[in-house]
Structure 1
Amino acid sequence: MKPIAMVTARAETLPRIIIDACAAAGRPVAGLVQVGDEADRLKTHLPVLGGQELLSDAAFLSAHDIFVAIGDGRRKALSEAVLARGGTVATVIHPAATVSASATIGAGTVVSAGVVVQMDAQVGRYCSLNTACTVDHDNVLADGVNIAPGAHLAGGVQVGEGAFIGIGATIKGWLRIGARATVGAGAVVLKEVPDGVTVVGNPARPMATKT
């Protein structure tokens, strides 16, 4: 098994979650590929292996699995650039997560401690399933979905690309959350959320737009 090289740009939480999950799984991160100056403040003793040029280096890509630990749109772009150059993108699952044998987890996704992914769920690429969230049976999550800690998706929920589900939110079964939609913290979603819409409250309603 190849060592993991973690791509990071900022001193945000995601890189630290990845480092912890990899260590717990017995697959520690070998070092950082730094693509932003703020990564200098990341709370880790991992060595900096180099900059973004390493993601174009065939020898480096053949020797490492890559995980892009950046929380914005560059995560998908950099991961797909690695794949296009023949590299491999790691999937990170904390050993304290519970993932059904019939579920699928896409490349470049992180599944944190306490997460439950139930039978026949499909989780796309570059997703973040954060602490103790639940993805129930037959859910379908597109690429780049971010589910915050303690959020719960009942069975059959579909979540579009790039959607964000806030901390402690609850989604009723067999609903669709649109692409790039946002579900606010603690929201209780009982109806479909269209693409790009932000909903908040219990029951969840679209956030009023400022005029």
Structure 2
Amino acid sequence: MVFYFESTIVSPPALIFMGVDKHENEDLIRWGWPEDVWFHVDQVSSAHVYLRLKPGQTLDDVPSAVIEDAAQLVKANSIMGNKMNDVGVVYTMWANLKKTAGMEVGQVGFHKEKEVRKVKVAKRINDIVNRLNKTKREEHPDFRAEREKRDRLEREDKKKLLRDQKKKEEEEEKKRKDDAELRGYNSLMSTTNMDKYDDGNDSDDFM
């Protein structure tokens, strides 16, 4: 089961979600999307919270208020973190998460530490948490099927882009050839070339 939330401070709302337990977190780690941003309270146990970016978005494109929403949500869903002030929350793109065979269920590391960002949450802001909880819904998604569908659509988009690009290149090549033929025809029919075939006689005069 996954809990889904909407950050309505932006339009359209940003999608935030988290697994109900560490086993769900394992599935989220395995079948995450390249567009997913992972959040966790630093140094203490907490829920794994994800923010799903729009295609083409980067972390630098995410409004700070949306980052704050996700950070508040992950703090509120940490037994220890929820009781503490000045809590650090780390976040990074899903692709930077590293899972090895020796790790416990729900535990992750990072491929590149330098790609992990950190934000400090001074205290829990109930207005933010309550606003997010009002949008909360429970679903039982098939993580693998959703990821495979996402990848299939991406492949289809790339194929369409390649087809459109090839068509454009073919049209441009045809235009270049047509322009070259037209220039050759105009050169052939120029006054200079026509003068070569002018003998000075009127073609209608047979006398």
Using the size of structure 1 for normalisation, the TM-score is 0.21
TM-score with structure 2 length normalisation?
0.22
- Structure with bigger gyration radius: 2
**Higher-strand-fraction structure:** 1
Report which of the two has the higher share of helix: 2
